[in-house]
Chain A
């Protein structure tokens, strides 16, 4: 089984990963062989088995909703490539009408 080029392109777009032609071809090979390996688990009957998302059986963790000091805005923005008025700045997402 080799992943189709369409699937690789689709997944790369979902992941917002810009891949070169060469990377896309290599991804088809390598993902296919990894998937072949992980498909081993398909042989197990897990119909009646509940999934485990976390192992420490924690219930919801609550705390009082109190105002406490948090990261200052200037600290949160100090690594930003571009910022303006206490906000991260990006290219326009919506077209102007």
Chain B
């Protein structure tokens, strides 16, 4: 009678919770058991919140007993540790926020709470979401459930790994240059970066404010759609969240993509692209054609400038945002002889190497004498990148690209060379520069590791992205693949049953 409840999708779990076939506490226990089994190896979490989760699960069961069921009532969720929560520490993966307890919830957290979701923990992240491997976390790296010698991607590596390993059913991450889509790809799960402005950023620890966006991870497109539905919408606390209607995303999941025009840009063939990854993505394109989609060549001529533009704009915004960590209001505080000395010591000790590098780069790009040559110039190139997309979307409904040029790389492989690390985001950065939504979907395997493709869409057209990704997913087996490590622990000690 032992069934692995961590394999259920949100849709399945929700239906069974509503019918009282399983309880929210049982569902949580199955996930806590998985966490006990694999967390010592994977380290997807900075903080586990078992007690909070248990209280929430009990409350969810009471709510269900009253017949008051929202789509995420009783669903175990991991939150990237850049999202402020009142009942757990928020570290942003940094020593400078060690011990910080937010006095308020992020809007997305409040919305999930209102639905009766269950928070299993705060997921690991590169420090201040700056990185592509989760190796920049001050709390130690996360490992990829598919291969413990490899990174889960980043910066939302904990959120992706937790879902891939069944430690949480769905999760939230944030994406500034690919930090949801790239780790989703490396861990073989679905990840969606919404349009800039679709989801409130209130209570998200800020990295680059014109690029940051919060979004969901799940094992299926439908699960991602359910979480997106829950977190979307205008919020008076974030004046960059846009007051436009949020459609019912479930109605987008028709399974029918006949006549959909999918753009493919020649510019997305870059040096350093793994030929195996390219082959797998080509097969996915063929499958989409079999499903009735039309493949249309498009041109995005400024693609090769996106990475350079990003590495001026993002650090510039970060250098301003991170000025708030001064040891006066919260977090680490080292006392010097003078206020200036206190600043220098607190920030010098509190920030890790990558964060310091980006603060230095951004401060340089914004400083007198360089501002026009770097920052303003980059903003102008950003205009060109956005125009490329505007023109392409006159001809097509979505644009397809690999999510990353390679599969998950080994721990330590790219830490010595910042540029090599930055290159893993070459396909994901353009969507952030243009503010567009993007979804990463598993599309096969290369070298025994997950490969992912990405669809980018028009602003606020997440519905079409979900529709295309869902139709592909339903026609292929990839979303049912389980990491061998997880297969092994499931065989050894089935969760959800008695031991």
Q: What residues of chain A have their CB less than 8 Å away from a CB belonging to chain B?
A: 7-8, 10-12, 14-20, 23, 27, 30-31, 33-35, 37-42, 44, 46, 49-56, 58, 61, 63, 71, 75-76, 78-82, 88, 90-93
Contacts and interface: CB of A to CB of B under 8 A. Distances in A.
B340 A16 contact: yes
Given A16-B340, A40-B305, A79-B330, A27 B382 contact: no
Interface string B351-365: 101001101110110
Contact of B356 (A23, A37, A49, A56): A23
23 contacts: A7-B364, A11-B363, A11-B364, A12-B360, A15-B360, A17-B359, A18-B343, A18-B349, A27-B356, A41-B309, A41-B312, A42-B373, A49-B380, A49-B383, A51-B379, A55-B433, A71-B104, A76-B103, A78-B103, A79-B331, A88-B328, A91-B342, A92-B339
A81 B305 contact: no
Contacts of A16: 323, 326, 340, 343-344, 347
A80 B377 contact: no
Nearest to B325: A16
Contacts of B361: 31, 34-35
Contacts of A17: 344, 347-348, 351, 356, 359-360
Contacts of B239: 58, 61
Chain B interface extent, by class: 35 or more
B367 interface: yes
Given A46-B384, A81-B327, A88-B328, 15 more contacts: A23-B356, A30-B418, A46-B380, A50-B383, A56-B196, A56-B197, A56-B242, A58-B239, A61-B239, A78-B101, A79-B101, A80-B330, A90-B328, A90-B339, A93-B339
Given A15-B359, A17-B347, A46-B380, A79 B196 contact: no
Contacts of A82: 333
Nearest to A14: B363
Interface of B: 99-101, 103-104, 195-197, 210, 236, 239-240, 242, 302, 304-305, 307-309, 311-312, 319, 323, 326-331, 333, 335-340, 342-345, 347-349, 351, 353, 356-357, 359-361, 363-364, 367, 373-374, 376-384, 386, 418-419, 433-435, 459
Given A49-B384, A51-B383, A91-B338, A15 B319 contact: yes
Tell me the dominant secondary structure on chain B's binding face.
Answer: helix
A81 B382 contact: no
Contact of B379 (A31, A42, A53, A78): A53
A63 B238 CA distance: 12
Contacts of B363: 11, 14-15
Given A11-B364, A54-B210, A61-B239, A18 B347 contact: yes
Contacts of B380: 44, 46, 49-52
Max chain A C-beta neighbours (<10 A), residue from B196, B345, B348, B360: B360
Contacts of A46: 377, 380-381, 384
A14 B362 CA distance: 11
Nearest to B311: A38
| Most chain B C-beta atoms within 10 Å of own C-beta, residue among A35, A41, A54 | A41
Contacts of A8: 360
